[in-house]
Each structure stands twice: as structure tokens, then as C-alpha cells.
Structure 1
Amino acid sequence: MTRDTLAIVVKGYPRLSETFIAQEILGIQQVGIPYRIVSLRHPTDKKRHPIHERITGDIDYLPEYVNQEPLRVVRSWLKVRKLRGYRRAVNIWWQDYRRDRTPNRARRFVQAIVMAAELPDDITRIYAHFLHTPASVARYCAIMRGIPWSCSAHAKDIYTSADWDMREKLRDMDWLVTCTKANVDYLQGLAEDPSKVHLLYHGLDFSRFPEKLPDREMRDGGNADQPVTILSVGRLVGKKGYDDLLGALAKLPKDLSWRFVHIGGGSGDKYRKLAAELGISGRCEWQGARDQKEVIAACQSADLFVLASRIQKDGDRDGLPNVLMEAQLCGLAAVSTAISAIPELIEDGVNGLLVPQRNPDELAKALQAMISDPKRRDEMGRKGNEIVRRDFSFYSGMKDLAHRFGVTDSDPENISSSHSQKPAAE
């Protein structure tokens, strides 16, 4: 089996909210798979994770809009229209456009033209992260260039895309990996060939986390000088349910001592205003975007993790948020919602508590139970660490992915030598 040379298509790079993509790209680099990154957008985050500094592959930024680089687009079209697959790509795009008459659909085809014109000749496979727009660009470009393509699907890209679009992409690609069992079941139901769809948990690279679990104080919310620290990490967007969480926090008994710390990007004005209206703003700390070292440090110092994920009206939702795995690896018990693939990690009553989505009353009951019982939190946090280390190792998933890209166990730069991961120390 020949080792691939990859063009990895992403929506934007680098992004603070997509550490799982950066982790995977670094793994691809470490096992010796040649690659370059093709990004549909320029970065907007002001901070970067340390992992981004370790990724050394070339990055190509496609024009986000035609009017930004019209000469580049014209030069690309003059070159690409001579390719054997160009006419087929135009026909497929036109069929897509008739069902999805949006500027976005037209823009992705233009980006595919530029990518097809500028992609080095040594690229043997296109690999897209996300089944919506990045996969559209990858598909059109792969058809023009006459090379195979594959995809990694996650959450929003699956549940906000039209079935016909995903079905036809699945037909054209070689294979797809996705990060939850729920996603696998859904996509296999759409695919003409269900065997193309495979489960691949993102997992965590344990080497980036402290080996020793922190010795947490047994705070129970009864001492005003030692409040229980409740941490949540996530973008301030609807599917994260922060209005539900703030509503739940406001329902906690007045004599219970706690503080809420939020880490994540997005506009916080709406939530700060809501916290003030609920009378809890003095207990809430909004830290904004942080890099992964800072997130891990926050997990180490917190007492409890909470994520009130929910399904939006348009179908947008979390899959299996990496932050839940990170919190568990740091020995934090979690309170979350029983949606999507969260129950694939959090077993209710074992390593955390699960409540129905959009239910501040039940969320408040779960939070109160965990705040007031530090021994239970500690037991659940240790169990969560054990579960993540057993079932959610980045090594396992990366080994499978490397094999798909042509790396064998006998290769000199194999995955086992690049990702040794030590067990936790108590």
C-alpha cells in the first residue's frame, strides 16, 4: 500500500475551538505522512494553542470571496478548464446548485477551482474535515484533478446538511470517519455503501496533560470563603446552552457557596446581562478565549465541570465535545446533558450526571447534588480519568487513520513510536 501525500481541507486554520483537528494534523505529521493544509478562511482568533506552533506543514489560504482575488480566480480557471475532470465537476456542481441556489454553493466551486489549479502534483489524496463546505470544495477539486478523497465528519456539518448532499458525497468519496456512534448510525443510514462509514473517536494525546491528578480540597459549598468552582469551556453560542446553565445556577440555594468560571470565545454581553438580571453576576467570571495550557490549568484547579449542550432548531448540536474528555482526564466530575454522543463518555451516576437538555430545574438539582458532595465528585472524577484513558486515547484513533493513509506498523515512523502515552499517576 502506497503512503498518501495529503491535502487537508479545513474551514479555517488555526482555530482555538478545533483542537481536535490540530491534534490530528500533528499526529499525521509525526507519523511521517506528507501533507499540506488548505484553508477556506483566514484565521480570526487572536490566540493560538501551543500545538499550532508544532505543526510545520505548508498552509494554502483559498480566496474567501471572488472579489478579493479576481485575478487569482481567473488564472486558476484558465488552467483548470483544461483538466479532464473539469466538465464532470461543472455538471455535478450545477446539479447541486439547482437544489441549493446560494452564494455559498457558488463560492465553494470557485474555491475548488483555485485549489485544483494550485495543488502540487504530488498530492495523492484530499482529506476534508467537516462534511459540509470543506467536503464540497474537496469533492469538486478531487473530481477535477482525478484523485481520491475522504472525509472526517463531526456534528453540525452532519445535522445541518441536506440528506441528498451528504448521500452524494458519501457515494463519491472513498471512506468517511466520524467521532461518535450516533453519527455512524445516522450516516450509514444515508450511504449507499454503509461500509464506507467508520467510527473514529478523536481521543486525547495524554502527553499534553499532567500525569498526576490534583489533590482537590473537599469543598462542599458550606463555607463562603471556600466556594466550589464550577468550570465550563465552550463558545458562547446557542447550542452550548449557557442561558440554561445560568438559569440553573440562579436556582441554587442562596446559602450554597459557589463560583462559576467560563472559558471560551464569542460575544459574552448577552450572558453577562442575563447573569446580572438573575442576580448572580458577582459569582460569575468570564475569562474569554484561552489556549489549551490555560484550559488544562483551569481544569486542574476547578471542582466541577458543566456543559449544558442542546440541540438547536436547525439541528446544530455538539457531537462529543473534547472539553468533556479533557475535564475528565483532569479528574473532574461532569454535569452535562443526555444528547448526541455525550452519553458515550459520561455514564450517569458513574463519572458524572446527565440531565435532559433545556431543563434548568433538573440541571440545578444535579449541580446542587454535586456541589454538596465532594467525596462523590472525587470518585466520579477518578472514574472519568480511568474511562478516558481506557477508551479515548488519541493513539488508537491515530493508528487507524494512519493505516488508512498507507502507514504500516513496519514503517520506520510508525504511530507507536511517535505517540507513547503513560498511564495516570494517582
Structure 2
Amino acid sequence: MRKTVIVLKGYPRLSETFIAQEILGLERAGFDLVLVALRHPTDKKRHPVNDEIKAPVFYLPEYLHEEPVRVFKAVFSNLTKPGLWRAAATFLRDLGKDFTRNRVRRFGQAAVLCAEWPKDAGWIHSHFIHTPASVASYASQMLSIGWSCSAHAKDIWTSADWELVQKLQASAWTVTCTRSGFVHLKQLAAGKGQVHLSYHGLDLDRFSRFEADRPARDGSNPDDPVRIVSVGRAVEKKGYDILLTALSRLPASLHWRFTHIGGGEKLPELRALASSLGLADRIEWRGALDQTEVLAEYQRSDLFALACRITADGDRDGLPNVIVEASSQRLATVSTEISGIPELITHNETGLLCPPEDPDAFAALIGTAITGPELRHRLGDAVEARVRSQFDHHSSIAQLKQLFIEAWGKQR
């Protein structure tokens, strides 16, 4: 296998278990990997999967002015490389369309990557088609080697079309994890770039079958309330304000408890909203947890809820990996019909969906699920079967392996 550098925005990150799982899957498939991150980790915890990854990790300067000597040496050492001037020409054209410090930072980080290039590495793969792909694209030109990309959600929908087109055409191939993202990128590529649909999938050995029978809670017993869980960062696109508002509109006669898992900038705001809605005594805020702790929470719960939305700047989820994880544990889901969610959740077949930004509709679905243990069990069984038949990560790893091998063959 050709040694491959994987460029990441940050590593490790609790919110990106799908990336860590893919890296581990590639290693187990025989890939020799080096991880290069644009940012140091900020999470206090890490998932067990990160500890199983053997690839070395290197960090580029997050801000160029913080490591000026390193950046200057990198640029100076690259001056004799013909590729530097090709990359510089591309960078200057990009800077004319995006005159920002961020653009300069990506070129400087690419220069450092090339100057400190891992021995014998011969390919670059970026996770996310926005900033990591900018670094990968510039470095590819500087080094005159090929690169590929995995595009996900925010990076697709908040990037300018001109930049997406340029990267799709420059990379050997791009994969994305939802059909909506695939259709959008395919249209932009217009036949001049390879775009493939590749669901992340789960390591179903790690998320083995949950064999226990869940209690038939129906919200009538104050001493045994229905347990609702949600996992996700407290950011706008997750729609937690909608979820909390929906919970506040449930009949007072229904007994439930809600657990939120995750960090995020809006946590104080959401806690304040929960208090103002009179929900504080029914909610547990667990903060960021590792994958083992999250799995245990799925198994203790009766219902998963996530009110995803599209924000004003176009940001949105793809198919949230946490929905796939919860589904693998026979946990019924209430969510919204945006992006890739309907690719797993079919309304009233494998879960319950409503339009985004509609707390009344969301409350109606949660209420139906709370009072219907038989419905939850039917939906949970159906969605688990779909996950285990269509979202096994071995399929996605095999697809990626084939794409890498074909691209490498063309580069010889």
C-alpha cells in the first residue's frame, strides 16, 4: 500500500467518530497512514477507537504568526520546487476570490506540510472539502502528487460553488456520505470530476446487537418515565431549541426524562431555555462522553431525538452518525426530514420524521412515541435491521480501498 497522508481539521475529536472509525478500518485493511491535523484537540475525553489507531499524528501550525520561524523555513525550503510556483499561482487566483486570512493560512500550512513531508508518503487524502482540502490541494501541487477527498456536510453546503468545482476537478476522486450531498457535488462536477456516494457505516462488532427487552414504558408512571436521549454538539444546526420547545408542549400527564450528551457553545443558552420552559427538573445534561459511555446510554433509553435543521448560512448535518449508532441498538428515532436522514429513517417504517423548524409537529411525534411502546419496538427492530444490512463499515472500507488502488494505478 502506498503511504498516505490524511489531512484533518482537528484530531482527535469526539464529534468525529466516523472519521476515526474509517481511519482504523483503513489501517486494518493494510493501509500505511500518517495523520496531519490543522488543529490540536480541544476535547477533554477521547474515544477508545482513537487509542486503537496506530498512525502517527503531526500538527501543522494552527495560526501562522504563532510559529513564524517554522513557516519561514518551510517556504524557504520549498523555493526550489517547481510545484511551489504552480501552487502559488493557484493560491493567488483563490485569494482574489476569497481575500481572507484563512486563505493565507491554508497556503502556509500546505508549505509546512511539504517541508516536513513524511518519508516515502505518496498520496494525500483530506477529510472535509473546505479547509483541509485547501491544504491538501496546495500541497498536492507543491509536491506533484495526487490527492483525494471525503466531503461530509457543513463543508459542502457552506463552501462557495467555484471552490467546490475547482477541488472536484483537481482531486482524483471525492466521496460523500449522503445522497443529497452526492447529487449536489455530481452536478457541480459536471462530468469533470469523480464523485462517489459512500455511507460511513458502523463497526458492528463495536456496536453489537442489544439483546435485552426494553420495558414497555408509556409515560403513565411518574416513577418510571420514558427515557429520551439525544447526542450532539449544542450548535444551531442540531435544533435543540426546537427539541426543548417540543418537549415543553407535551401534555402534563406524560412522564418522561430527557438526557443530552455533548458539549458545544450553546449549552448555557439551552440550559437557560430549559429553565424558562419549566423543564429543568426533567433534563440531565451529561456533557461530552466517550463512545463506550454513549453506547450504554443508548441501551438505557427508550427513544432517540434530534431536531436537525438547515441554518441561515446553509450549514446542516448529513446523516448524523449518532442516529446510525442509536439505530444499531434498536432505539427508535424521532428526527427531521433533511439531508441524509431519510436515507436511513423512513417515516413510520424505521422511525418518525417531520419537517424542520416545527416544534408542534415534533411534539406530536414525541408524544406518539412516548405513549406507544409497541410502536417504538417495531420501529427499533426495523431500523436495526436496516443498519445491519446497509451500514456495515466493511462495505465502505472496501469501496475506499478500491478507489485508492485505482487512483494509484493511474499515477504510476
TM range (shorter): over 0.9
Q: Is residue 394 from structure 1 mapped to residue 403 from structure 2 by the alignment?
A: no
Alignment gaps of 5+ in structure 2: 407-412
What SS does the corresponding residue of 1:287 show, helix, strand or coil?
Answer: strand
| 1:103 match | 101
In 1, the alpha carbon distance for the partners of 2:59 and 2:217 equals: 49
2:70 is aligned with 1:75:
no
**Deviations, residues 49-84 of structure 1 (Å, cap 9, x unaligned):** 000100111111000111211111111111111112
Aligned to 1:11: 9
Counterpart AA for 1:391 = Q
| Equivalent residue number for residue 353 of structure 2 | 354
Q: How does 1:61-72 map to 2 (within 5 A)?
A: 61-72=59-70
- Tell me, yes or no, if the aligned pair for 2:229 and 2:301 is still in contact at 8 Å: yes
**Out of 166, 169, 172, which is 2:170 matched to?**
172
Native 8 Å contact 1:188 1:194 kept in 2? no
Instruction: Give the counterpart letter for 1:374 in structure 2.
Output: P
Residue 50 (1) aligns with residue 48 (2)? yes
Deviation at residue 136 of structure 1 after TM alignment: 0.1
Count, aligned residues? 405
Q: Give % identity.
A: 51
Looking at structure 1, the residues matched to 140 and 38 of structure 2 have their Cα atoms a distance apart, in angstroms, of 16
- In the other structure, the counterpart of 2:409 is none
Q: Distance in 2 between matches of 1:285 and 1:297?
A: 15
Structure 1 counterpart of 2:318, one-letter code:
G
Counterpart among 150, 153, 178 of residue 151 in structure 2: 153
Deviation at 1:214, TM superposition (A): 2.6
Counterpart Cα distance in 1 of 2:187 and 2:245: 37
Within a 5 Å distance, the mapping from 1:232-381 to structure 2 comes to: 232-267=230-265, 268-381=267-380
The question of whether the paired residues in 1 share the 8 Å contact of 2:147 and 2:171 is answered with yes
Q: Which residue pairs with 1:414 in the alignment?
A: none
Distance in structure 2 (CA, Å) of the matches to 1:155 and 1:75: 35
Distance in 2 separating the partners of 1:101 and 1:322: 34
Work out the CA distance in 2 between the residues paired with 1:316 and 1:246: 21
Q: What SS does structure 2 have at the residue aligned with 1:206?
A: coil
Corresponding position of 1:183: 181
- 1:16-53 per-residue CA deviation (whole Å, 9 max, x = no partner) reads 00000000110111111111000000000000000010
Hey, what's the Cα distance between the residues in 2 that align with 1:387 and 1:195?
31
Distance in 2 of aligned mates of 1:369 and 1:211: 26
SS of the residue 1:139 aligns to: helix
Secondary structure of the structure 1 residue equivalent to 2:222: coil
CA shift at 1:152, angstroms?
Answer: 0.1
Do the aligned partners of 2:169 and 2:192 also contact (CA within 8 Å) in 1? no
Q: Distance in 2 between matches of 1:212 and 1:41?
A: 36
Name the SS of the counterpart of 1:362 in structure 2: helix
- Per-residue deviation, residues 204-260 of structure 1 (Å, max 9, x unmatched): 000102333331100000000010000000000000000000000000000100000
Q: Is the 8 A contact 1:213 1:331 kept in 2?
A: no
The CA distance in 1 between the partners of 2:27 and 2:67, in whole Å, is: 31
Task: Single out whichever of 266-275 and 309-318 deviates more from structure 2.
Answer: 266-275
Deviations 1:160-210 (A, max 9, x none): 000000100111110000001111100011014266000000000001023
Q: Give, in whole Å, the separation in 2 of the partners of 1:65 and 1:146.
A: 25
Matched residue of 1:259: which SS?
strand
Q: CA 1:195–1:80 in 2, change beyond 3 Å: closer, same or farther?
A: closer
Contact 1:231–1:260, Cα closer than 8 Å, also in 2: yes
Contact 1:97 1:105 in 2 (8 A): yes
Partner of residue 206 from structure 1, selected from 199, 204, 207: 204
Question: Residue by residue, what CA displacement relative to the aligned partner does 1:344-376 show, whole Å, maximum 9, x if unpaired?
Answer: 000000111001101000000000000000011
CA distance in 2, matches of 1:209, 1:191: 36
8 Å contact kept, 2:324–2:387: yes
Letter of the 1:396 counterpart: S
One-letter amino acid matched to 1:292? Q
| Cα shift at 1:121 | 4.0
Write the distance in 2 (CA, Å) between the matches of 1:88 and 1:195: 20
**Equivalent-residue separation in structure 1 for 2:308 and 2:372 (angstroms):** 23
Give yes or no for contact 2:36–2:57 (8 Å, CA) kept in 1: yes
Shift in Å, 1:406:
2.5
- Counterpart of 1:135 in structure 2 is 133
The amino acid across from 1:39 in the alignment is: A
Residue type of the alignment partner of 1:248: A
Give the secondary structure class of the aligned counterpart of 1:272: helix
TM-score normalised to structure 1 length = 0.94
Residue segments in structure 1 that go unaligned for 5+ positions in a row: 408-426
What CA RMSD, in Å, does the superposition of the two structures yield over aligned residues? Answer: 1.0
Q: Supply the distance in 2 between the matched residues of 1:81 and 1:320 (Cα, whole angstroms).
A: 43
Q: Distance in 1 between matches of 2:117 and 2:293?
A: 37
Aligned to 2:117: 119
Aligned residues of 2:235 and 2:264 also touching (Cα < 8 A): yes
2:218 is matched with 220
Is residue 39–residue 59 contact of structure 2 (8 Å, CA) maintained in 1? yes
Name the CA distance, whole Å, in 1 between partners of 2:78 and 2:212: 57
Deviations 1:74-105 (A, max 9, x none): 11111111112111100000000010011100
Letter in 2 for 1:388: V
1:20 aligned onto 2:18: yes
CA contact (8 A) 1:4 1:405 kept: no
Where 1:202 maps in the other structure, the secondary structure is coil
Query: Separation in 2 of the partners of 1:386 and 1:251?
Result: 32
Residues in 2 aligned to 1:340 and 1:213: alpha-carbon distance in whole angstroms? 31
For the residues of structure 1 that align with 2:309 and 2:208, how far apart are their CA atoms?
31
One-letter amino acid matched to 2:46: R
